[in-house]
Chains A and B, each alone.
Chain A
């Protein structure tokens, strides 16, 4: 069913004046009134920490929640390569316009133009802000900032701090937030997991969290709630996400009325260390920046078992350079991943057909010397060596695509407000800026843009224009939400079946990876849906969780998250099934042009946002928001 309930609230006017005008037109809250408003921020990654810091600075009362023991451990910390900004410091023709264009094209024309343009505009402020906070971004000998290239772009606009850009930016945002904690505007609630959203009079007014140390269910009231809880790649079990990354916060909000948009848009990152065995718990990314100097190849002979060093150049297929001569190894992620998968499927995998292709630095080491390569990627090479026991200076890396990022998420309008008034969503948790594929070094940019430069304005506008009654945690809505959560937990604890939640997560991951991973078919998706439904039944009747719910119980934490992943997995498959086209990370085998994604702009140039219908057994309703491209011409995306 396709209805139209979605108002994107895109301001009128030219694309490059929309944000400026909107900022002027939005209502303000006077300084004395700001401290009367409480904002809850769930998550302390780049988006959450920056939002908490910026809103604390403005004088709002901020309550910040994270599942970790310290806000600094959020998974943004693991981003390696860099952050884009249209600074044009390299004088190579970059501009806000070009970053906007690259991002819309990179997203395969499935993102909202106005949002992407705003992102490109504020990108320059992010770098300024980070440097002012003391983020030690890489510099040249002259003392000015250094840049490198990332996939899907022909300019060098990526700022970085060795292979630890995410860590440094996160520590910057974290320090900003801790400064506000010191100033008394931000209260930190660590080791708390959000388990429900409380909606009163149609507005988001608080959350229920479980204290992960004591098991206590706590109620927290606010005038607005920001979810910055990250993405859902862990639905695949094996991904580059951290172990605690979950969809729970956004999913529970979805069940309270927030529409979930484009769940089938997932990013499979091309360069990850391949799976080593059955007990593997997660996958490790090798930064996209490596493709600046590394070349992807496979042997041109099927099942070639010769050691890589013995395969002469004439018998190597540098497949990205062959297929995409103008972008070469810096083709965007979706494209590069798909090609690597094709090679492996065809039997050209590394070392006689492993599920891996080579990423080779031989030529750049010859050209630049080992020292230069070590300076650029030393920590990544070391990490690869530690994990695999192989020395990438001497032999090529073996890499294979792995789930890394999810473009889908809660639907938000231009103000980053979801379909529940007062519920705002930032960073990877929302769906807004990357369309069907995210370009490298854009996630850090979006998280910080949302937190530092968008939400502080749009939430003020919400407060100024909304009448908010005073609410206490004794309100019935809090009581009943707490009861629901408690009932759920008790049910899981008392199932006392025979299967571990971990094994169910693995099974779900296998289904999702096989049927809803890098390539999808109608049959596969249909089969996956029925398998997931069976898995959900089994989860309800057959899980086992040791211990109790009144103390640290990591199995119980996992169980809650996996229950949500199972429901989400089904929705992802449904979304992928309905979207009868290929775009970005969503590749339907039925819709291709010789391995290239074939969009259907007639039928699918829209966002699909799903509405929960009361329970997991009733299918969600699909709503659409049409996408208009007035500034970037809708065209077949080509990197050839």
Chain B
């Protein structure tokens, strides 16, 4: 099994499985957060429900962190190997039908920026100001207030937009590539698969972006 994990093919499986965990996470994260468009209380109650179930929370958090670490570590080893395999560049980059998409070529850069975003994101929200509120008699953290504060800052919203657009590219290529890495790509799927991956990425990122946009435009 060690041979498998060391091989380029095996490492693609690791990238795929850990990526899949996060593909699922960002989708549910986005869907839950959409509650902000409904009401502040509902949003806070949702957040409270999640942090209340400690065992589940810790399991979920460990899976996410482990996946992220494995994803990053494997990505670094692959990137190093890939760079070593092609040390000199061509004088001209192709742009015609024989070229590749920008998204697929720049996964490492996107990934690094998205990682920075995740860290900043955790600092801002998870470990950010602890306001409290009371919803239906239950004392809980007022995340809604924090979110409104943060999303009223144009600089933060701009950074958020840039990072999430990069995330969209990262997700679209990942969601597409996973089928090939896992070996479940079939001839008849090839055409619709790219579309599927893009629809997924646009829904996730569109959902996320609707939140600061809503706050920035409506609450300002």
Chains A and B share a contact (CB less than 8 Å): no
Partner-B contacts on A (CB < 8 A): none
Partner-A contacts on B (CB < 8 A): none
